[in-house]
Amino acid sequence: MTVTETNTPINAPRGLAGVIVTETELGDVRGREGFYHYRQYSAVELATARTFEDVWYLMLHGELPDAEQLAAFTARTAELRTLPAAVRDALPDIARAGAVSGPLAGLRTALSLLGATAGFRPLYDIDIDHRRADALAACAAVPTMLTALHRLGQGQEPVEPRPDLTYAANYLYMLTGQDPEPQRVRAIEAYLISTVDHGFNPSTFTARVIASTGADLAACLVGAVGALSGPLHGGAPSRALDTLDAIGTPDRIDSWIRDRVLRGERIMGFGHAVYRTEDPRSRMLRALAEQFGGPRVEFAVQVEARIESLLAELKPGRELHTNVEFYAGVVMELCGLPREMFTPTFCAARIVGWSANILEQAEDPKIIRPAARYVGPPPPQPLPFGAPR
């Protein structure tokens, strides 16, 4: 239930599905068409034709940069990759404390510390230039924090960022400590671009709710990371790959899928809350995977085709296709990323989309404050006799 300006209750669907809560210039998802865009450009076309820095600039400034603007933006964001000493020195303790939870949990703490160390002030109290500067600092630092936390968790020393590498190449370099192969860089860059933003998903909406209170940018991003960590939102790439491992061989596809569907279990990597046709991100990532080739890719394509056929049989009338997570896991595995870094890598891209949404929300003075329908015992009830004071 929501409330209008006159405080008249309005019934809304569970989960606010399909409810428009604001206006945005950042992009949209057209679920029935299988299309999504960043500002005025196709997101998939951007992923296949432009750099991550191009798209980052587009999301923050509303236009693609020219050569001079791109060079200045790339240099500026590369400088910001180096962490403040207080954050860098705290990462070993954060990694030890989150040894079981992993880099994404550690990022929540590191982001809070970054915001405090850098002096992030409430969005309500600063102008757009200051907000944008905070956003650049946070976005540039996130890959450094994520890769450092991962390496520390593996008993390795963090790798310092290199300003001469692109965002995607530097991410792979900091993760592995080796110069990445061009094919891997391009595949990861396309993946990162394709996941920068995607409508009012739970983490983006969480970031905007916090931003509507006027909180500082780090607080907004920490909330978004928390929402992303849920397995029903950002935790599916590795789980989709687990599905391939569990099936194992082509002759087991039918029995494995039938058993789980009949038990009412969700097949990770299939279905989407918005798309009613093939997820365009899945289509693009499948093409990237096929460029690598090999048995893993061939098996994934075979599994995809058979699962879609089985789902059409077992769940007639529902359009269930692969979503971004299915082939994202395959592509990231092909590029040498460990599974525990799949969702953090997603986060390294979505941090830009969150920041753009936070900046946009900060321009709206209206706090996001929906209502709930009370369904408990009717009040007021008499207090129990002799209740302690």
272 is catalytic: yes
Q: How is residue 322 annotated by DSSP? A: B
204 torsion bin: left (phi>0), alpha (psi -120 to 50), beta (else): alpha
Whether 270 and 322 have beta carbons less than 8 Å apart is answered as yes
Alpha helices in the chain (DSSP H): 43-49, 52-61, 67-79, 85-97, 103-118, 128-153, 167-176, 182-194, 202-212, 217-228, 236-247, 253-262, 280-292, 295-314, 324-334, 342-362
Selecting among 53, 189, 304, 325, the annotated active-site residue is 325
Whether 303 and 254 have beta carbons less than 8 Å apart is answered as no
Q: d(Cα 68, Cα 51) in Å, to the nearest integer?
A: 15
Helix (H/G/I), strand (E/B), else coil: 41: strand
Beta bridge partners of 2: 10
**109 class by beta-carbon count within 10 Å (0-12 exposed, 13-18 middle, 19+ buried):** buried
Selecting among 53, 150, 198, 272, the annotated active-site residue is 272
61 is catalytic: no
Helix (H/G/I), strand (E/B), else coil: 10: strand
Return the closest-CA partner of residue 261 out of 326, 311, 323, 322: 311
Whether 346 and 237 have beta carbons less than 8 Å apart is answered as yes
Residue positions annotated with a catalytic role? 272, 325
